[in-house]
Structure 1
Amino acid sequence: MSDGQVSVVIRPYRDVDRDAVVALASRLAEGVAAWRDASVVADAVHGWVTDSLEQSSSDGHGVLVAIGDGSVAGFVAVTTRRHFTGQVDAYIGELVVSTEVEGTGIGRALVNAAEAWARDRGLQRITLETGAANTRARGFYRALGYAEEEIRLSKPILIGDQSMPDRPLTGENMVNAS
């Protein structure tokens, strides 16, 4: 297509997709705060994705993959989550597209598919989380109509003779690999 869009098919995850989906998982660590241990983050990301894949055929869980040019170009994991108000919402746990297809509409197609998944289950709201420093993702979600609902703040607790960072931990000294 001439407008930067690529032809893509969105379909439910299959076991044959596992290696390709897991290979994309490392992108989920982009925008994570610099004070988080990178190896711990990588292990957590791998765990999220493998858990999502294992639960993908269970009620209330789904993993959808984008197939472009015959291979996995991205995926979205969606589930249900109870909000503190008691309302059950759809929740996008993971959304990843390969760097080669960023900006081609595949991420938007995956979000639309997750929203359809939620709609098919009668859910009235869909939520997600992303790193505070992941400005590209935050802009992408805003463009799709998502609004910030909650903000989580974090402060390291010093133990023993640890010293404080030279400056406050803000968006400018957090990791942003996007």
Structure 2
Amino acid sequence: MAAENTVHLVPAQPADVDVVADLWVELVRDQRTHGSELLGAANRAVVRDSFAQAAVAGELLLARESDDLLGFVSFSLDHGRYERERTRGTVTNLFVVPERRGEGIGSRLLDAAERALHGAGATTITLEAMAENERARAFYRTRGYAPHRVTYTKDVETVDPDGTAGENDDDGAPDGG
């Protein structure tokens, strides 16, 4: 746990958002090895603007060691259109540079985001991980997170063009979706 003594968690400042956006591009590069379709460089400007807003709102924390940025976490309280039983906070991004993973930096960043969201009124916290990223999923499970919702995808090329596939199938699928 050497990282505990030398790594400091600090709120991001507007001047930090360019380097955080660069780390986000690295995060996306890693996610693409697990099936993500996001394009890091193509979305960098939009994400940079989002991080600038998060920095101003206090919803972007950095893990620093001296002048080195080792990771970040972004989060927000949900203000969606739907009324919910619980107030939900969301961890939108959590990233630690690969060479420093396993040192507890990600846990410290997640702890800090959870505390901030709880302080803002969240009673539950959500986050996402790529289905194929077993390391991330295992990390979140050890932190008490459990799957809540599953997203299914299908390539359009596999859609039956005449709409007859499955008409007489008894595949056990519920009627009406």
Is TM (by shorter chain) over 0.5?
Answer: yes
Q: Matched residue of 2:156: which SS?
A: coil
**How much has 1:31 moved relative to structure 2?**
3.6
CA RMSD of aligned residues (A): 2.7
Which residue is 2:73 aligned to? 76
Task: Flag the structure with more relative contact order, 1 or 2, with Cα contacts below 8 A and sequence separation at least 6.
Answer: 1
Unaligned runs of 5+ in 1: 161-178
Q: Kindly provide the amino acid, as one letter, of the partner of residue 54 in structure 2.
A: S
Distance 1:20 1:45 in 2: 14
Q: Matched residue of 2:39: which SS?
A: helix
Q: Matched residue of 1:155: which SS?
A: coil
Distance 2:36 2:124 in 1: 32
**How much has 1:158 moved relative to structure 2?**
1.6
TM-score, normalised by the number of residues in structure 1: 0.74
Distance 2:36 2:99 in 1: 29
1:85–1:142 CA distance, 2 compared to 1 (3 A): farther
Alpha carbons 2:18, 2:48 under 8 Å: kept: no
**How much has 1:34 moved relative to structure 2?**
4.4
1:90–1:135 CA distance, 2 compared to 1 (3 A): same
- Note the alpha carbon deviations across 1:70-122, whole angstroms, 9 max, x for none: 32110001012249662431101111111121111110000000001111112
Alpha carbons 1:79, 1:93 under 8 Å: kept: yes
Q: Matched residue of 1:158: which SS?
A: helix
Unaligned runs of 5+ in 2: 160-177
- Note the alpha carbon deviations across 1:112-133, whole angstroms, 9 max, x for none: 0000111111211111111111
1:110–1:44 CA distance, 2 compared to 1 (3 A): farther
Which residue is 1:52 aligned to? 50
Which residue is 2:142 aligned to? 143
Q: Kindly provide the amino acid, as one letter, of the partner of residue 15 in structure 2.
A: V
Q: Matched residue of 2:60: which SS?
A: strand
Identical-residue share of aligned pairs (%) = 30
**How much has 1:68 moved relative to structure 2?**
1.6
Which residue is 1:110 aligned to? 109
